[in-house]
Structure 1
């Protein structure tokens, strides 16, 4: 009776090698799980829809020509309920295959299907005979050692009743010594690893402390530098005031309003739209300007800048002292300053005093637009700049409006006696705004 189910060819799916689930019969007569054969047909159709073959016999079949086999489904269910276990042959309970292999890691016999399953795929697997031979060899070694020990014990017994106990008394300390030596090596290794870990943590913490020390020194130096600049600025103010005090009364009274100690009222009301480059967008209140990639379709009037992305302020000055502030934010490329009203608009010019421009610029580094440029080695870039124009002295000074630290001064006599206007230069990803 058992021989009828030797390989159970009619109850297992040739694709998944499990019991048939919802079995169907194809044209060549082979049976498959409905899900397995459907997936097979879909995969095959993606490669070549005209050559669909049976997975077992490679006979040509038609997609969709599947016949449900209810009789076979009933037989499979009965075999499952019987939990078939042959008596003469060792078969896998899950797959019904011969247990010809041995999983060395799990210590159990497996079949070829089990070997390819996720549970055993990464485990060392031997043929059943090889595994038996391996463990027989290990057992033989143990038996050999036991026989030698027994023989030695018998030999010692001949020498006297106390010889075996004396032998054991000498043997046990040796075994204990080996055991303690192993434990000692283990402890030394663990502490060595712990020591290496602590040393690494020590190096990391010391490196952090060193960086912290460097940051503290940097901040101290920066504060000292700012303080020195403010002291230098104060010294200039003192010298200027002392000079003013030596002037005659009438001249002193006329010049009292130009003292650097007093902050003049902001002098700009807005930007002059008809001078703005076509890539510059002005706000409705004419207080801010930003760069736009797309050019605007604007009139080509002679006042408009056609090469450099510039714009002038509404007010022009010929005398007196005037101040205004410009917020530059975190823009990547910009310039702030003044320009003579006759500055070139339609052609390319050098941004320098020779061409009628006095300004500071940022574009990767901070610099004054002298000829050649003067790098400004500041450890920070101001976000708000005050421009102080003294037309009578021909001088313009730039100040960090945040901490009142001086940035750069074009010395007296630099600016000619003609109408001077505020000047802004705006490039990509930048926006400038006149402050109230």
Structure 2
């Protein structure tokens, strides 16, 4: 039979038969912690999984890895890592034999047929006393085989300790060679499956791999070599998994623990910061409260003292006037004509004295000054608390019957979009603004506190405020224009100019930046209208007046779009 070596140059040289043993593996923890393992170093057990194509540098690298993990071997070997990861291994050739290996002719110590076929022939070689004789036998240096037998005995001791459960079905006996059982014969030729087809990725027999076989011309290699390569790959994968497990364990033990401690520390610092800032705010509020209450009390005392002074003054004046009146009445009733003439100068003196007592006049000193309770800090805090509270926000929707034909109202009735052309779809409703791009909300306010926010970041020309129900709707005059009549109070923007407008009076406002949102606070009880920027907490303008009832939120837009924030 023509061997596959003649067909494919990629076929490796036949390996020298060597004893094969059962699994030496098991759990990594059992390997490392079990005190029942023999004292013989693992490097002397002959468990090297030598990779024929590997370089000397990679072998030393793996030996260094095995030594770093904590092998019990005094001379770390490639098998130490195998024992740790817990995979079955196959005993390879003697290390000295591998180092001293030199190229030989095909008939020098090797058979000319595949390795399994040589074993199958009578007299082709048999195992006696744990050593191979006949096929592929080589001469070793003196003492080499003795040390090899010592390793074999130590390995048998280890396998006896581990037990057959490390690989079910194999027990403690010699690991059968691939293709030595009837179930592992080629179904087509009945020969052992001693070769592996790399093209079809399956084991084949020598006939299938030879000339005329189904795998002729394919990439063929010995099944044992392929299995050996797979074992090495499994060992490498186990090493990678072990390194990955070690990395994960280190991450859990060190990184996550550090993260947990850092999170706890940062949470504690955050709590302290919140408590510190709120304490500062509370202290500031208490101080501001004390200051304002003192001002209110002082103003009350001043007004009360003024009233008392005025009361005493007018009481004295009343007493003097009563005296003058009594005197004049006595002159009139008790004096005759001559006596009355003689008392003429006295009469003029009494009349002049009475004229010196003036009539009471209205004075601000007698009134309580409400400005004593005004505080920019209190206003900002109040506006922030109202706008930040969901209960203080109003559900404001625009009345579609009031929307100008120049505006388009969204379906949710919260967004107004300006259009340069009037819409013909709008009906001629008596409540609709027919010239100016205005719109009123459907919500009315009679009393209490109300707040809403308008998104104005996309518009450079808009008006936002409140208006009374008396605001005219028809025509192009100023009486329908927001801020130009007595029925509307609006905050307006045109390009980079901001101002508050009411009844034709325009108050310029100096803003450092254009607000993206505009908050409106209406306190009908206090008579205050506040325009506020929620993002920065800045009060833009406060207007105090006695507003008529009811009031409507009012909007106007002449550029792009504005919308009510939900």
TM-score by length of 2: 0.31
Of structures 1 and 2, the larger Rg is shown by 2
